[in-house]
Each structure stands twice: as structure tokens, then as C-alpha cells.
Structure 1
Amino acid sequence: MPKAKVTFEDIGVTVTVPAGTRLIEVSERVGAGITYGCREGECCTCLTKIVSGGEHLANPSVLEDQVLKDNLAPRGHRLACQAQVLGGDITVRPG
């Protein structure tokens, strides 16, 4: 199974995870600062800047793409609860 290295700039931690893992899952495991309100109905609170390696993430789903547009998310940002790693090296930071 392919692996990916995800680096969280806010805490200076890099971890290796299996392909298909969502960024929010990794963030929770390592204690990174990506916040989320998904379980409270606050969509888009997990907005995450993809510093590098965006090409190593699965394409946004129709739902994610719409939420990003509706919230005027800046270019290069993804929803951590939706973004799945495919492999390679990815660097992210909250917000």
C-alpha cells in the first residue's frame, strides 16, 4: 500500500501515513492545530492551507469543492475532513 509523508508546519512534525488517510485523522493523532466543527454542524472550520504537495491529495469531491466556493476559500486550501492523501510528501498548516 502506498504511503505518504505529511508535515504539519504549526508543530514541526512529520508522520508517515497510508494512502487514503484524511488530513484531519492525521492531525488528531499528532496534536496539530487543525480545528474542526464538523460534528457540531460548523462546516469549513477545518480549512487547511496546503503549503506543498497538493498534487499528492485526491481531487476535491463535488461537496468539498462547493463548500470551498461557498466560503470563498483562498486558492491552495482544502477541507482537512475531506482531503485524502495519495502518497508523496505533503506540507500543511491550519487555516
Structure 2
Amino acid sequence: MGTAKLTFEDVALTVNVPQGTRIIEISEKVGSGITYGCREGECGTCITRVVEGMENLSEPSALETRVLKDNLAGRNDRLACQCQVLTGTVKVRPG
């Protein structure tokens, strides 16, 4: 399994992560300001702005798409508990 680079702008930290890692998993470990509630993709608390590398993330599920729409999220927003870093470089900040 390969790795990807994930940068958290709010704490100015870049880490190497295994492909398929959910953003929220690493956010907790590095102390990023991404908050969460349910971890199941239903509450919308963990909406996160993708600053760079949207193409390196998993496609949003129907549930994630609905929750983002219901919360009036922007087109560069994703749920940190749902999206996975697949390859390359991704840069995020709390939404």
C-alpha cells in the first residue's frame, strides 16, 4: 500500500498517510481544529475545506453528498469523517 501527503493548514503540519486513510483519523492525532460529532457522515460537524488536492480524495458517497448539500457546504468542502486520501498531496483546513 502506498502513501500520500496530508497537510493541515491550521496547525501547519504535513504528514505521510497510508492510502485510504480518512482525514478525521489523522486530524485527531495531530491536533487539528477539525471537529466532529457522529463520525458516521450524518451530522455535518466535520465539514472541512479542501484547499488543494480534491482529485486525490475518494468520491463522495450519496450520504456525504446529501449532508454537504443540507449544510450548504461549498464545492471545495468535504466531510473529514467520510473522505479518504487516496494518493498525491492533499491540503485541508477546518471548515
- Please classify the TM superposition score into its range, dividing by the shorter chain length: over 0.9
**What pairs up with 1:52-63 in 2 under 5 angstroms?**
52-63=52-63
- Helix, strand or coil for the counterpart of 2:21? coil
CA RMSD of aligned residues (A): 1.4
With the length of structure 2 as denominator, give the TM-score of the two structures: 0.94
Worse-superposed segment, 48-57 or 69-78: 69-78
Kindly indicate whether residue 71 of structure 2 is the aligned counterpart of residue 71 of structure 1.
yes
Query: How far does residue 5 in structure 1 lie from its aligned partner after superposition?
Result: 0.3
- Output one character per residue of 1:26-57: Cα deviation in whole Å (capped at 9) or x when no partner: 10111111001116xx7111000000001000
Which portions of structure 1, spanning 4 or more consecutive aligned residues, are displaced by more than 3 angstroms? none
**What pairs up with 1:18-29 in 2 under 5 angstroms?**
18-29=18-29
Count, aligned residues = 94
Runs of 5+ in structure 2 lacking a partner? none
* One-letter identity of the residue aligned with 1:8: F
* One-letter identity of the residue aligned with 1:63: L
- State percent identity of aligned pairs: 66
